[in-house]
Structure 1
Amino acid sequence: MVRALKVEASIGFYDHEHGRLQPLSVDVELDLGDSPVERLADTLDYDGVARIVRELAAGPHIALIETFAERTAVACLADPRVLGVIVRVEKPGAIPDAAAAACEVAYSR
């Protein structure tokens, strides 16, 4: 699991959100099945998961955090070892008096 990965992305639906970076906090939980894990080759490289999130954040503007979460999940599922994925995206400061706006998506094969 990658927890609370901090990135900045061009994200948001409203006009005032275009053309500027905003902070996101991203959690990615992977289901790799019940196979024994004894070597690094038996599991997934968490740096690779973080790279997926960072590359998406560095890409073109995305209107919704739901889209960001979905694209992250689909990219993780491109690895055949991943049987399921849960992605949670938080956008701190998006709602007055709330810690964050957030969404969570779950996909499985």
Structure 2
Amino acid sequence: MDTPSSSPYGTYVIAVRGFVAPFEIGVYAHEHGRRQRLRIDLRLTVRRTAPRFTDDVATVLSYEGLVAALETLSEGPHIQLLESLADRIGDLCLSDPRVVEAEVSIEKPHVFPQIDAAGVTIAYRR
């Protein structure tokens, strides 16, 4: 059966780990009108289009574009929920037809004094 993830050449994984930027995010009144640092990790499973890599960046999914897109999102309007932000990032990841799966993890560090971070991890599939 031919599925979006099927490829005679298999898949590979790219990761963006530890992207940190200030976002305007949160449901509480004290979180509106100010930016909070978030940590974002991405893991994308990408369909290979050839049996071997040709050492040409044009033939692979570059993480540079992902980082630039995250920077643009960080400059956007207020978002209430980490889950909503994850959905936007998941949509962005799946906008490339080669991506068959994306995992988005977002952490809000030091949101409570008792913990290092609170966050969500959501998987997106075609």
Q: Which of the five TM-score ranges fits, normalised by the shorter chain?
A: over 0.9
**What aligned pairs does 1:53-72 form with structure 2 within 5 A after superposition?**
53-72=70-89
* Runs of 4+ more than 4 Å apart: none
Greater CA drift, 35-44 or 12-21: 35-44
Instruction: Answer yes or no: is 1:24 the counterpart of 2:24.
Output: no
1:11 to 11, 20, 25: 25
Bigger CA radius of gyration: 2
Deviation per CA, 1:46-89, whole angstroms, max 9, x where unpaired? Answer: 11111121111110000011111111011111111111100000
One-letter code of the match for 1:71? R
Instruction: Answer yes or no: is 1:80 the counterpart of 2:97.
Output: yes
Residue 32 of structure 1 aligns to a residue whose secondary structure is strand
Unpaired segments ≥5 residues, structure 2: 1-14
Instruction: Answer yes or no: is 1:37 the counterpart of 2:62.
Output: no
One-letter code of the match for 1:13? V
1:48 to 62, 65, 90: 65
One-letter code of the match for 1:72? I
Percent of paired sites with the same residue = 39
Residue 121 of structure 2 aligns to a residue whose secondary structure is strand
Q: If the length of structure 2 is used for normalisation, what is the TM-score? A: 0.81
